Chain A
C-alpha cells in the first residue's frame, strides 16, 4: 500500500513524480487488490459541489490567475500589469 500524502506536487517535477508513483501498483497489478493500491486524496469520494462554493460564475471573464508558486516573483515584476499573455507557469483555469 502506498500513501503519497500531500506536497510532492508542489515541486518542479512533482506531477511526474506522482505519475511515476501511481504507475508502480499499476505495473505490479496491485490496484483493486485488498491491502494493495494507492491512498491518494479522497476528495472525490464526497458529493461535493465545488461550483456552488467557489462560484466561478462570479469571476469576470479574462481575470488573470497566477500560480501560487509564482506570486513572489510576479508581485516584484513591475511589468506585471502590462503583461499581455500569461507567463509559462501561469494557470488559466477558465
Chain B
C-alpha cells in the first residue's frame, strides 16, 4: 500500500479529520471536520436506537463536513444533478424512509435531539423466529447454504490456509487507550509510534 500511494503517477486525494501516515502521501488533502462539528443521524452498529445530533461547535479551521466537501467538489466538476446540491437535512430525509412505521411518523431531519427512537417491528421488539426470520431462500437458518455454494463455492464454512512468502503476519490490534483509530497518530494516545 505504501509503495502504491508513493507512486509518482498515482494521484492521491485524501479527506481526513486528523493527519495520518496514509495522508502523508496525499497530493491534495482536504480537512474534514469531526462529528462534533456537523449534524448527523446515528443509526447504531450494535443496537436499535436511532438518534439525531446537532453540531456542538462550528467546524475548526478550514475543515468542512464531508457532505459540504462533496457538494463543492461536485460544483467544481460541473456535476449538475440536484442530488449534488442536497442539503444535509435533505440528505437525512432521503437516508431513511419517514413513512416507515419504525419512524413513528417522524421526519429524520427533525428527530428531537433529546429522543432515541427504538426501531420496532409491528410495535414489538424484533425477536428471531418470533416476528423476524432469516433472509435466506428457505427462511430458515442455513448451516449448509446452496446459495453461497453456487456463488462462492462455499456450501459450508471452510478454511483456506494463508499462503505467504513471509513468516510473520502484520496485525493492527485495537488499543486500550481509545475506541477508534481516528486519533491513533496522536502522541497523547499512542506515545510510542512506529515510523514509516
Q: Contact residues of A with B, CB < 8 Å?
A: 3, 6, 12-13, 15-17, 19-20, 22-23, 26-27, 31-32, 37, 39, 41-43, 45-49, 52-53, 55, 58, 71-73, 75-76
Contact = CB atoms under 8 A, between A and B. Distances in A.
Interface of B: 1-5, 7, 10, 43-48, 50, 81, 83, 91, 94-97, 100, 102-103, 119, 126-130, 141, 143, 145, 152, 154, 157-160, 162
Nearest to A7: B174
A89 to B, nearest CB: 11
A43 to B, nearest CB: 7
B157 A23 contact: yes
B159 A26 contact: no
Contacts of B103: 47
B157 A43 contact: no
Contact of A46 (B50, B158, B159): B50
28 contacts: A12-B160, A12-B162, A13-B158, A13-B159, A15-B157, A16-B154, A16-B157, A19-B145, A19-B157, A23-B141, A23-B157, A26-B141, A26-B143, A31-B129, A32-B129, A42-B45, A42-B46, A43-B45, A45-B119, A47-B96, A47-B100, A53-B91, A53-B94, A53-B95, A58-B81, A71-B4, A75-B10, A76-B4
